[in-house]
Amino acid sequence: MKTWLVVSAGALLVGVAGCAAVAVDNDGAARGRAVALMKGGFQANGQATMDRLDQDAIQQACDGAADTPQRTAERAALEQQQLAAVKFPADGKLLGSFAAGEKVAQTGVGLQWSDKAGSVAGGNCYACHQITKQEVSFGNIGPSLLQYGKLRGSSDATMRSTWTRIYNAKAYNACSNMPRFGHKGILTEQQIKDLMALLFDPQSPVNQ
Ligand code: HEC
């Protein structure tokens, strides 16, 4: 009994020291080990290739270490870079069809290993947003988009900032949890136009 107690106290100490090392060594060796462990748990399958586990600069800037003035400045600079890379439609038209937009918002397939490469992906917007009153199943990681256009109006500035948000939410919020639908080529320009109509068209169920 006595021996067991000594051993377990020792194990506990090692455990606590281990945790402390991980917290302090966030960007160092422990991080490398965690990434290696994660990569070891996945394998490439179809279009889901291993490079999906590589973080780009803005993801890295939001990962791990606590906020410092330097990190905040780094994130602001990266937001500007993402903002500069937002593409607006060449024909200048930001609105498509709200009915098609509703389908994009409802669809969650695409880009998974089980999907055919090159097939059209959905936006899965309902996974995080309430959008219409008719749909009762939705997530709440993002704010409700009910009455989006009615509440905000449809000035050029509002429409362009909403386009930007859908195209690349990290252009406004480096650490946003919203997928970068245009920037990452998840949705096409036409699909984003249709989502814009879903949000802004006065006839859309969103604005009833
Ligand atoms: C994984 C969750 C997630 C998904 C999926 C998602 N969003 Fe978002 N969205 C968010 C979050 C979180 C915010 C809050 C702002 C931020 O953090 O960027 C947001 C903000 C927004 C805003 C701005 C709302 C406001 O009040 O200013 C719009 C518009 C929007 N999302 C549209 C969409 C559309 C359209 C889709 C589908 C193509 C979508 N979102 C999919 C998480 C998500």
* Residue 192 belongs to a domain: yes
Domain ranges, residue 163:
98-207
* Residue 161 belongs to a domain: yes
Nearest CA to ligand 1 atom 10: 142
Q: Please tell me the pTM assigned to this model.
A: 0.87
Do 25 and 106 have their domain in common? no
Question: Which pair of tokens denotes residue 32?
Answer: 């490398």
Amino acid sitting at position 19: C
Identify the CA nearest to 166 among candidates 77, 75, 104, 112. Answer: 104
Q: What is the 3-state secondary structure (H, E, C) of the chain?
A: CHHHHHHHHHHHHHHHHHHHHHHHCCCCHHHHHHHHHHHHCCCCECCECHHHHCCCHHHHHCCCCCCCHHHHHHHHHHHHHHHHCCCCCCCCCCCCCHHHHHHHHHCCCCCCCCCCCCCCCCCCHHHCCCCCCCCCCCCCCCCCCCCHHHHHCCCHHHHHHHHHHHHCHHHCCCCCCCCCCCCCCCCCHHHHHHHHHHHHCCCCHHHC
Distance 180 CA to ligand 1 centre (A): 10
pLDDT at 26: 56
- In total, how many domains does the chain have? 2
Ligand 1 contact via 141 beta carbon (within 6 Å):
yes
Do 126 and 195 have their domain in common? yes
* Residue 159 belongs to a domain: yes
In whole angstroms, give the CA distance from residue 140 to residue 65: 26
In whole angstroms, give the CA distance from residue 69 to residue 73: 6
Do 37 and 109 have their domain in common? no
Length of the chain: 208
Do 188 and 104 have their domain in common? yes
Do 31 and 105 have their domain in common? no
Residue 181 CA: nearest ligand 1 atom is 38
Do 35 and 103 have their domain in common? no
* Per-residue pLDDT in tens (0 to 9) along the chain, 208 residues: 333 433 333 333 333 334 444 444 556 788 889 889 999 999 999 999 999 999 999 998 998 767 889 999 999 999 999 999 999 999 999 999 999 999 999 999 999 999 999 899 999 999 999 999 999 999 999 999 999 999 999 999 999 999 999 999 999 999 999 999 999 999 999 999 999 999 999 999 999 9
CB distance 59 to 75 below 8 Å: no
Do 35 and 124 have their domain in common? no
Distance 49 CA to ligand 1 centre (A): 26
pLDDT at 54: 92
* Residue 90 belongs to a domain: no
* Residue 109 belongs to a domain: yes
* Residue 47 belongs to a domain: no
Nearest CA to ligand 1 atom 40: 125
Do 112 and 190 have their domain in common? yes
Ligand 1 contact via 125 beta carbon (within 6 Å):
yes
Nearest CA to ligand 1 atom 34: 125
Do 37 and 114 have their domain in common? no
Do 107 and 201 have their domain in common? yes
Q: What is the CATH number of the domain that holds 114?
A: 1.10.760.10
Do 17 and 103 have their domain in common? no
Do 102 and 36 have their domain in common? no
